[in-house]
Structure 1
Amino acid sequence: MTSHLKKKNNINIEGNLDAAQTIIFAHGFGTDQTAWDAVKQAFKDDYRLVLYDNVGGGHADPAAYSPIKYNKLNSYADDLLAIVNDLQLEDAIVIAHSVSSMITLLANVKNPAIFKKVFFVGASPRYLNDESENYTGGFTQPALDSMYETMTTNYYAWVSGFSAAAMGNPDQPELGESFARTLGEIRPDVALSVAKVIFESDVRKELGKLQKETLLLQTQHDIAVPQEVAEYLNQHISNSKLLYVDAEGHFPHISAPNQVIAAIKSFI
């Protein structure tokens, strides 16, 4: 692996380095690769594991982030392809959370040969409602504008509120606090830029191009991704299966890792 790429995306290769099969774990907004700590343990004996941080988050190289370059999800997809190519991976399985699900989908559209199967947790092709197409994404533009305003004027107050709401599971406040820590470590201006790119992205036209076996994992209640979105993905990704788990919040791999592990094992 080139040292430049390792530093850029804080790439770590773990598990069984001699395994024939590789699993790539990709994190969502506000978290980093440590979000997979509980889940990855179940696969370290039988698979080579590749973990990385998206530019703009975690311990990715801060110098690599540019709001001009990373003004669309395709730039993150290019990063994922660069990692796959650098490690010379073939037929990898990708376990992706939230925005990294659509990043993975875009990478697959650019190079359909590299992934064998994809597993998406809390994925959404568009967060904004679209009345012209009767599409429910879960957010209105005024709601997003209000969120951006709060992020701009009082970032750490926003972090506290958003992390608790997105994590759910109020009986386990330490989970929300853990998310607040990783979210709070992101420079406020970077977080705002990245949030705008994510929440105003629209990948719906690309969904039909994903032909890989796909499992969509959805919780019973997710503030960021309503069930209508999961159903929409299931309808528009041809080789997909939708699985609801008995968990709540946007981060079941953190709040209910055993259920996610069981779903991954049955899928792969």
Structure 2
Amino acid sequence: MPASVLQRHHVQMVGDGPVTLVLAHGFACDQTIWRRVVPELAHRYRLVLFDHAGHGMADAFDTERHATLDGYAEDVVAVLEALDLWNVVYVGHSVSGMIGLLACALAPRRIERMVMLAPSPCYINHPEDQYVGGFERSTIDEMLTAMDLNYEAWAVQLAQIASLEESAGPINTEMRHRLFALDPTLARHFAHAIFLSDLRDKVRGFAHPSLIIQCSDDPIAPVSVGRWMEQAMYAARLHVMTVHGHLPQLTNAPQVASLIRNFVQ
């Protein structure tokens, strides 16, 4: 077993069962973002947790290789290969939904089914295609510029948007601390890769059985995105959770776990 890959991404395995779930976190998070979901699932499934490059306890962030989401997808495949895993259920939060979709293209037999939690293949509105991603291109450009001008102020704003809580709220506070702990250079590279990407062509016709879980009030990935994805994919179904913000695994972990269990069964 290539220990270096597993060490590089701080891979952890929890629980036991005939089905393996790979839990992949989103931007500025790490595997601990799943801490409320793991106890709900570990008694029934084998869970694989890891940190993306530059996040949590992982290293190996490369400005060239990780300039696009493809580099992160290659990392996912490397972890699956190192563990000799096939036919897993991949659970990706936010950008990791799209990273998992790209990983499926690289190694389609290693991922059997997909759960995408608050995903978006394109954050920018494209009215010519009747696509509502949630942001105008000018807004995205302003956001990325704001990162360069004052990263901490930008982080405070993003934490509020992601949590939809006041500054003293527990999820807002956690996300603010996570963003402050992230290397600003890495954050800028990853944010560019995320918010300027357009993976709608990869989503169209995607055939792996998939569950899309969207939050009813999420400024980052609105319900309109989930509806578009459900229509564009061959074997997807959409569930809209009645929760605020972009982090349902923190706001309602039991429901997230229940949706995953029902999909896997």
Structures share a fold, TM > 0.5?
Answer: yes
2: distance between equivalents of 1:49 and 1:247? 25
2:15 is matched with which residue?
Answer: 15
1: distance between equivalents of 2:65 and 2:109? 26
Gaps of 5+ in 2: none
Q: Does 1:52 align with 2:50?
A: yes
CA contact (8 A) 2:23 2:31 kept: yes
Q: Does 1:164 align with 2:160?
A: yes
Pairwise CA distance, 1:172: 7.3
2:223 is matched with which residue?
Answer: 227
1:83 is matched with which residue?
Answer: 79
2:5 is matched with which residue?
Answer: 5
Pairwise CA distance, 1:29: 0.6
Equivalence map 1:1-268=2 (5 Å) = 1-16=1-16, 19-61=17-59, 64-170=60-166, 173-268=169-264
Pairwise CA distance, 1:266: 1.3
Cα deviations by residue, 1:125-161 (Å, 9 ceiling, x for unpaired): 1111223323211112221121122211211121112
Distance 1:172 1:253, change over 3 A: farther
Pairwise CA distance, 1:265: 1.5
Pairwise CA distance, 1:170: 4.2
Gaps of 5+ in 1: none
Pairwise CA distance, 1:79: 0.7
CA contact (8 A) 1:109 1:209 kept: no
Percent identity for Structure 1 against Structure 2? 30
Cα deviations by residue, 1:94-144 (Å, 9 ceiling, x for unpaired): 111011001101111222211121111101111112233232111122211
2: distance between equivalents of 1:97 and 1:79? 16
2: distance between equivalents of 1:223 and 1:128? 12
2: distance between equivalents of 1:68 and 1:32? 21
One-letter identity of the residue aligned with 1:162: L
2: distance between equivalents of 1:227 and 1:172? 27
The alignment's C-alpha RMSD in Å is 1.5
Provide the secondary structure at the position in 2 that maps to 1:235. helix
TM (norm. structure 1) is 0.94
Pairwise CA distance, 1:28: 0.6
Pairwise CA distance, 1:67: 1.6
2: distance between equivalents of 1:133 and 1:187? 36
TM (norm. structure 2) is 0.95
